[in-house]
Amino acid sequence: MLESALWGLIQGLTEFLPISSSGHLVLVPALFGRDGPDLATSAVLHVGTLVAVLIYFRAELAEVLRFTPTGKRLLAYMVVGTIPAGAAGLALRDPLDRLNENPTLVAIAMICAGIVFILTQWLPTGHRTSGETRMRDAWVMGLGQALALIPGVSRSGMTISAGMAERFERREAASLAFLLGIPAIAGAGLINFVDLAAESGAGLGAELLVGMVVAGVVGYAAIAALLGLIRRTGLAPFGWYCVGFGTLALLVV
């Protein structure tokens, strides 16, 4: 029960803060000489974080469901922006899964991503809002999300960086990154559930519900915290964290 809650805490924090959930779920167990979460746990943790982002952005998603002009623009952005990561994920699933088994490469990827986040502090200040999205923005941020398929590279961090490069205001870039992450999080959870269903004897225990709830509650809080912080701090502090944590993992693992 306690272990499921711990995985939920890590997933909830790192899914939305730009510090890489995949990297932490590989490196934290490796630092302590333990195995990471199993397939069932990974599946329900993704459900928890998916519920968190759906609740937080319920107003924007209601616009999409009502098919208002704003909703149609957001829907087009989310669909087009999901294509790069979806295509890359299907084509490279096996090599990416093998990377998850190599903590050294995951740590190096986290360090490289952290350097990118640090460099964003020198980008020109953006003033665009989410109501000004274009198809180019969807492709650019979608490519950033595709790069985050590499374990250790933060999905939110890469998509926010891409949005800032497209001159979106920091908080607006973060909101767009989280909205773009909805199909990705849902897809990752669905793939895990399909794989789980294919495993004989695999079942869901009550302890997994604890992990899912913790991931959801902590994930919601992480979204709110980042949206409140990023306008003042940018991504650089998270970049330094990624560099530091990745370096620690290289030295210890």
pLDDT score recorded for residue 115: 98
- Give the pTM: 0.91
Q: For the chain, what's the residue count?
A: 253
Q: What is the pLDDT along the chain (253 residues), one digit of tens a residue?
A: 677 788 889 999 999 999 998 899 889 888 877 777 766 677 788 889 999 999 999 999 999 999 999 899 999 999 999 999 989 988 888 898 888 889 999 999 999 999 999 999 999 989 999 888 899 999 999 999 999 999 999 999 999 999 999 999 999 999 999 999 999 888 877 776 666 556 655 555 677 788 889 999 999 999 999 999 999 999 999 999 999 999 999 998 7
CB-side exposure of 15: number of CA atoms within 13 Å? 37
Which residues are 168's β-sheet partners?
A: 128
Residues 28-80 have pLDDT tens digits of: 888 877 777 766 677 788 889 999 999 999 999 999 999 999 899 999 999 99
Which residues are 128's β-sheet partners?
A: 168
